Amino acid sequence: MGPRSPREDGEMSLSLDERAALARGSLTGLSVGDPFRDQFFLLDNRHVSAETGVPPVPWAWSNDTEMACSVADVLNQSGQINQDLLAASFARRIDVANGYGAGAFDLLTRVQDGAHWLAACEPLPVWLAPSADPPPGLRA
């Protein structure tokens, strides 16, 4: 791993190589843990004990893992979250078999077809569009 550089507060920050290695570890865990969890929502696996059993393979790759891979790719490319690059990566990676919701699938296929991600959001309710404030009852 590369050398560390000091942050403004004097602490040492992680190098890009260290960050990438940590991200790979997180993606590995997510790529196994998320599909494992999903197995307990399948009727075919209702006999498997959540405490002691392991559902049969294969376990499907999830949209959460796919989107996390996009986040890692964009961070590795630019060192920060670039919304345009991220939306393009989400759109390139979308697969209907990975469990995307109808709204996400619709938005990302619009981006695949050449729409800018902000324009693709326009039919959404205002409070769902990026950068919009949610209604008062839905604020985090």
- Higher pLDDT residue, 136 or 30? 30
pLDDT score recorded for residue 25: 95
pLDDT score recorded for residue 17: 87
Is 113 domain-assigned? no
d(CA 132, CA 130): 6
Is 67 domain-assigned? yes
Query: Which stretches within 10-62 are classed as H helix?
Result: 16-38
Q: Where would I find the beta strands (DSSP E) of 13-134?
A: none
What digits encode the pLDDT tens for the residues 68-111? 999 999 998 988 899 999 999 999 999 888 888 888 888 999 99
Average pLDDT score over residue span 19-35 = 92
d(CA 63, CA 95): 8
Is 30 domain-assigned? yes
Is 82 domain-assigned? yes
Is 89 domain-assigned? yes
Of 12-26, 48-62, 101-115, least confident by mean pLDDT is 48-62
Is 35 domain-assigned? yes
What radius of gyration, in Å, describes the C-alpha atoms of the chain? 19
Is 48 domain-assigned? yes
Domain coverage including residue 96: 16-101
Number of structural domains the chain divides into: 1
- Higher pLDDT residue, 66 or 5? 66
Considering the chain, what percentage of its residues have pLDDT values greater than 70? 79
Q: Model pTM? A: 0.71
Neighbours of 35 (CB within 10 A): 19
Is 115 domain-assigned? no
Average pLDDT score over residue span 37-46 = 87
